[in-house]
Structure 1
Amino acid sequence: MPIIYKCRHCTKEIGRLDHQIVESTMLGFDQLTTKEKEDMIKYKTNGDVEITSICESCEDTLGHNPHYHELDFFIQ
């Protein structure tokens, strides 16, 4: 059951954990609200867990273009 981190903007894979057993508290999931968990954590039918976050490139782009925060998607 890999845990795959993907960017919510460009969908690039940021990272991957291939451990068999990982506690959610070690990943900080216990710090998220219920709404944040619903938005960020997706359980795939093949057993993978996909976490949406933001990659460094998209974070840099948002930093230089703060008005992009108003958009649902800024990468086309």
Structure 2
Amino acid sequence: MAIVYTCRHCGHVIGKLEQKMVDTSLLGFDQLSTKEKIDMIEYKDNGDVQIKAICEDCEDTLGHHPQYHELDFFIQ
């Protein structure tokens, strides 16, 4: 099982944790609302957990173009 952090905008893999067992409260999952969990966490068929986050490049782009926050995807 791996926890894979990917950018929700460009799909870039930000990081990957290879663990057999993980205390999700240490990762802050318990701080998320139910809606945030649904939007951010996806359980894959192979047992991996995909976390949708934002990479530094996309965060920088959003900082320069705040109107992009209105879009689900701003990278084509």
Give the TM-score, by structure 2 length.
0.98
- Equivalent residue, structure 1, for 2:31: 31
Aligned equivalents of 1:66, 1:27: Cα separation in 2: 28
- Match of 2:8? 8
User: Structure 1: which 5+ runs fail to align?
Assistant: none
User: 1:18 matched to which residue of 2?
Assistant: 18
Aligned sequence identity (%): 67
**Paired residue secondary structure (2:22):** coil
Letter of the aligned partner of 1:35 in structure 2? K
- Following TM superposition, the consecutive aligned residue runs of length 4 or more in structure 1 with deviations greater than 2 angstroms are none
Q: Say which structure is richer in helix.
A: 1
Q: Aligned pair count?
A: 76
Structure 1 residue matching 2:25: 3-state secondary structure: helix
Deviations 1:19-70 (A, max 9, x none): 1111010100000000000110000001000000000000000000001111
5+ unaligned residues in a row in structure 2: which ranges?
Answer: none
State how far apart, in whole Å, the 1-side matches of 2:22 and 2:72 are: 31
Q: CA RMSD in A?
A: 0.5
